[in-house]
């Protein structure tokens, strides 16, 4: 008789957030039992309401900086809890730092206690305003520790350092993903990031705000591509940081024009002063992800924007 395979259990911190909720959906689809943890500081019940009544999903409303006590076995811990937008850094800088430090410590403690594999959602922000382009994982970054973005950048840098300390001292199996700009349904409308900002302005036919001359670049990865890459990283046996993002780079001016076209908006573009420490260019070097994970983005920007705009039409 064939032995029944054990159902895997995943814990997702930040499960009600933009990426955490999409990750939860993917894990459930792949047969995992998921325990989601969130305190709704930036997450939303709307992102997980469709999981109500799912026998494989359990939700705990808790701040991850508090001790995480769970009964039963855990196979994977995915640490996604963190405010992640420029508005948050200005409004809740201390909470942002606490979730990156204390929250990561508690999540790692859970993984150690359960003998689980741990993945931390780090960020391209650890490269700061990069002096090297595109950014490979070996680049150490150019970060202003005391600037307005320092609370997020340093929290994530600390989270990476702590993850490696647990890996080396306690032999915890750890994975580090550095996430570059990602977009898609379930982003917060007013979180200050460029995709929701431009789309909501365009849908209301308001002026689209471009900072500086609009020559600064970003590269946008659709959420489904990103989550697939992260899943592959967790299931791989590679324990150093891996960039996951889309290397197709564009200027903010080009992006604003594309949004106007995609929404059929009457918006005009207006320029405002560049915020302090705003990175001038962002583009991942994804050679490692291609080689180790056999991963690269599949969704074209035009297709991803169609779904994202449709989502925002229901919210504006």
Residue 96: φ, ψ to 5°: -60, -45
What is the phi-psi region of residue 294: left when phi exceeds 0, alpha when psi lies from -120 to 50, beta otherwise?
left
Each domain of the chain, given as residue ranges in start order, spans 9-184+222-246+284-298
- The domain made up of 9-184+222-246+284-298 has a fold known as Rossmann fold (3.40.50)
Active-site hit among 76, 127, 152, 231: 152
Given this model, what pLDDT does residue 3 score? 59
Cα(260)–Cα(312) distance, integer angstroms: 14
Rounded to two decimals, what is the model's pTM?
0.95
Report pLDDT digits (tens) over 114-155: 999 999 999 999 999 899 999 999 999 999 999 989 999 999
Q: How confident is the prediction for the chain on average, in pLDDT?
A: 94
Q: Is the pLDDT of residue 278 over 90?
A: no
User: Percentage of residues in the chain with pLDDT exceeding 90?
Assistant: 85
Given this model, what pLDDT does residue 27 score? 98
Q: Is the pLDDT of residue 315 over 90?
A: no
Q: Tell me if residue 223 is catalytic.
A: no
Beta pairing class for 217-219 and 249-251: antiparallel
Report pLDDT digits (tens) over 198-247: 999 999 999 999 988 999 998 999 999 999 999 999 999 999 999 999 99
Q: Which of 279, 284, 257, 280 is nearest to 268 (CA)?
A: 257
Secondary structure string (H, E, C) spanning the chain: CCCCCCCCEEEEECCCCHHHHHHHHHHHHCCCEEEEEECCCCCCHHHCHHHCCCCCEEEEECCCCCCCCCCCCCCEEEECCCCCCHHHHHHCHHHHHHHHHHHHHHHHHHHHHHCCEEEEEEEHHHHECCCCCCECCCCCCECCCCCCCHHHHHHHHHHHHHHHHHHHHHCCCEEEEEECCEECCCCCCCCCCHHHHHHHHHHCCCCEEEECCCCCEEECEEHHHHHHHHHHHHHCCCCCCEEECCCCEEEHHHHHHHHHHHHCCCCCEEEECCCCCCCCCCCECCHHHHHHHCCCCCCCHHHHHHHHHHHHHCCC
Cα(269)–Cα(31) distance, integer angstroms: 46
**Is the torsion defined by CA of 307, 23, 231, 133 positive or negative?**
positive
Report pLDDT digits (tens) over 296-308: 999 999 999 999 9
* pLDDT band at residue 290 using 50, 70 and 90 as cut-offs: very high
Per-residue pLDDT, averaged over 182-211, amounts to 92
Rg (CA), the chain: 19
Is there a contact between 128 and 153 (Cβ–Cβ < 8 Å)?
yes
Q: Which of 132, 154, 137, 136 is nearest to 145 (CA)?
A: 154
Given this model, what pLDDT does residue 85 score? 87
**6, 51, 270 from 222: Cα distances, Å:** 32, 22, 26
Tokens of 11: 């814990």
The structure tokens 């204390």 sit at 102
Is there a contact between 36 and 47 (Cβ–Cβ < 8 Å)?
no
Query: Around 12, how many Cα atoms within 13 Å sit in the side-chain half-sphere?
Result: 30
Report pLDDT digits (tens) over 119-129: 999 999 999 98
Q: Is the pLDDT of residue 274 over 90?
A: no
Q: Is the pLDDT of residue 2 over 80?
A: no
Query: Around 27, how many Cα atoms within 13 Å sit in the side-chain half-sphere?
Result: 31
Report pLDDT digits (tens) over 59-101: 999 999 999 999 999 999 999 999 988 889 889 999 999 999 9
């Amino acid at each position: 008789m064939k032995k029944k395979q054990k159902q895997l259990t995943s814990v997702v911190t930040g499960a009600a957030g933009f990426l955490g909720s999409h990750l939860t959906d993917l894990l459930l689809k792949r047969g995992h039992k998921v325990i989601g943890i969130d305190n709704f500081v930036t997450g939303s019940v709307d992102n997980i309401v469709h999981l109500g009544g799912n026998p494989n999903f359990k939700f705990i409303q808790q701040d991850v900086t508090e001790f995480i006590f769970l009964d039963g076995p855990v196979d994977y811990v995915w640490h996604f809890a963190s405010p992640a937008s420029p508005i948050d850094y200005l409004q809740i800088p201390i909470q942002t730092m606490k979730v990156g430090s204390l929250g990561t410590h508690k999540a790692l403690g859970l993984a150690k206690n359960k003998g689980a594999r741990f993945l931390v959602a780090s960020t391209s922000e650890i490269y700061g305003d990069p002096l090297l382009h595109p950014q490979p994982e070996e680049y150490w970054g150019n970060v202003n520790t005391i600037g307005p973005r320092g609370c997020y950048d340093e929290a994530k840098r600390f989270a990476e350092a702590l993850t490696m300390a647990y890996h080396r001292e306690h032999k915890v199996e750890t994975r580090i993903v550095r996430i570059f700009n990602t977009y898609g349904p379930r982003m917060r409308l007013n979180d200050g990031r460029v995709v929701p900002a431009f789309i909501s302005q365009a849908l209301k036919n308001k002026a689209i705000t471009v900072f500086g001359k609009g020559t600064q670049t970003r590269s946008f990865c659709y959420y489904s591509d990103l989550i697939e890459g992260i899943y592959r990283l967790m299931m791989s046996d590679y324990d150093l940081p891996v960039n996951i993002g889309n290397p197709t780079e564009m200027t903010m001016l080009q992006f604003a024009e594309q949004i106007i076209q995609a929404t059929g908006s009457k918006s005009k573009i207006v320029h405002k002063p560049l915020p302090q420490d705003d990175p001038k260019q962002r583009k991942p070097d994804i050679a490692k992800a291609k080689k180790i994970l056999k991963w690269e983005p599949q969704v074209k920007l035009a297709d991803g924007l169609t779904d994202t705009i449709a989502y925002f039409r229901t919210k504006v």
